[in-house]
Amino acid sequence: MKLYEKTAHELHDLLQAKEISATELTAEVLAHVDEVENKIGAYIEITRDKATADAKAVDEKISRGEKISALEGIPCAVKDNICTKGIRTTCASKILENFVPPYDATAYNKLSAQNPILIGKANMDEFAMGGSTENSGFHVTRNPHNLDCVPGGSSGGSAAAVAGGEAVFALGSDTGGSIRQPASFCGVVGLKPTYGRVSRYGLVAYASSLDQIGTITRDVEDCANVMNAIAGHDEMDSTSTAAPVPDFTKSLVADVKGLKIGLPKEYFVKGIDGEVEKSVRKAAETFEKLGAEIIEISLPHTDYAISTYYLIAPAEAATNLERYDGVSYGARVNGIDVVDMMTNTRTEKFGAEVKRRIMIGNYALSAGYYDAYYLKALKVRTLIQRDFIDAFKNVDVILAPTAPTAAFKIGEMISDPLKMYLQDICTVPLNLAGLPGISVPCGMTSSGLPIGFQLIGKALDEATIIKAAYTYEKNN
């Protein structure tokens, strides 16, 4: 096995034992990036000089006999909507093509304290709006398992980088499934934490009440280590929870005896691919054999989740994206006056999907429609949250497909937005409810594409879903 194919904890052991150096590891990953990046397109920017210099610093620390952190010297990628001081952060949009943040996002700052090696900023759907990474303002990212297929989105570059050996782990963001769905499509592990568990300060906003930074890793142990690095309260983020953060590595126990796992009937309905359903139900059987109790449950308002999400998220997006006006920062396209300049800037620099969501959002918030659409969507959101509260009175975790299908072909859905939006049916309810979810690989289709299931936990109970995911991983 090549070094770039190993997990972070395997590489940590090798570094600690001085069997490899961080410089050697980083050089091998960068050489692999040079070999495959023109096919996969996982990155917007590669930070080669910084990676090489940082690896040398880690080696010097090891040579002094100092202990290194679990992520020290490990190559990683960061989604390009997470601010990195002195390194371009574009959100895969032409409007921010040359934006260099003057500060680090809190999550990246906390991660940097562990001294991993940043390989680059990962491609994504523009402003995180999309589920295929076809909406990037720069290039399409391809699935390493089949280059004709999408890697999922919006964190498609992060997932493709990890799956394709271009990074060992990555940070992504999840507004409606943007970590879990690409993790499923690319055959890696993706965790969306509870809303507020990881600071959003420095995450370029899409929908502020839904966005959450999370992890994309090769296995569950790596997931726990990265979560340990980035979770925690942040005074710079008013939505950040002050709840104590457990040591997630203590959840790496292969035992689900007595665990009550809910199987929501609404997630196994017409439209779900047969191979996906078979793999997910087989995963449920595995848990049952390991001593868990499988209980069929109902989440009755699931059918309304997509409609609710695609009113709330675009409404928040329309408000958040007002700041890109060609005045303060970002690109500017001149006009005969200020209004003409703003119109030209947005017309030329925003992509089609971003424009679509801004228009949907402004419509939902407009006079005469606010009560009928946005306000009603907020009320339905509460009903969806109550569904989960009621379900968790009887079960400890919920098991469901991460996505209704495996990865689809590039271009297959891009001209049909509604069909694309329906891909989010399994993931958006968690964001509306603010709950944690982890996607874990559970098989392959007959055509060789990965399938994933997700475990949904109670608020602030990432520990239980990590434990259950780890148990499945160790017994599969």
pLDDT tens, residue order, the chain (476 aa): 899 999 999 999 999 999 999 999 999 999 999 999 999 999 999 999 999 999 999 999 999 999 999 999 999 999 999 999 999 999 999 999 999 999 999 999 999 999 999 999 999 999 999 999 999 999 999 999 999 999 999 999 999 999 999 999 999 999 999 999 999 999 999 999 999 999 999 999 999 999 999 999 999 999 999 999 999 999 999 999 999 999 999 999 999 999 999 999 999 977 899 999 999 999 999 999 999 999 999 999 999 999 999 999 999 999 999 999 999 889 999 999 999 999 999 999 999 999 999 999 999 999 989 999 999 999 999 999 999 999 999 999 999 999 999 999 999 999 888 889 889 999 999 999 999 999 999 999 999 999 999 999 999 999 999 999 999 999 99
Q: Tell me which residue of 275, 190, 207 sits closest to 465, measured CA to CA.
A: 190
Q: What CATH number did the domain enclosing 289 receive?
A: 3.90.1300.10
Phi, psi of 132 (to 5 degrees): -145, -10
At 417 the pLDDT is 87
CB atoms within 10 A of CB 271: 8
446 belongs to the catalytic site: no
- With a CB cutoff of 8 Å and minimum separation 6, the contacts of 91 are 80, 81, 124, 126, 127, 128, 204
- Predicted TM-score (pTM) of this structure: 0.98
Is the bond preceding 63 in cis, omega lying within 30 degrees of 0? no
Among the options 155, 158, 173, 178, which is catalytic?
A: 178
How far is the C-alpha of 42 from the C-alpha of 28, rounded, in Å?
Answer: 17
For the chain, what is the domain count?
1
SS3 state of residue 197: coil
Residue 178 annotated in active site: yes
Distance CA 268, CA 65 (A): 54
| Cβ pair 228, 191 in contact under 8 A | no
pLDDT at residue number 20: 98
pLDDT reported for residue 422: 87
The reported pLDDT for the residue numbered 192 is 98
- Judge whether 349 counts as a catalytic residue: no
Select which of 79, 94, 121, 458 is catalytic: 79
Structural domain for 48, as ranges: 1-476
Q: Which of the residues 93, 112, 136, 154 is marked catalytic? A: 154
Q: State the Cα–Cα distance between residues 2 and 282, nearest whole angstrom.
A: 31
Instruction: For residues 355 and 202, give the distance between their C-alpha atoms in angstroms, rounded to a whole number.
Output: 23
Distance, CA of 399 to CA of 281 (rounded, Å): 9
pLDDT at 328: 85
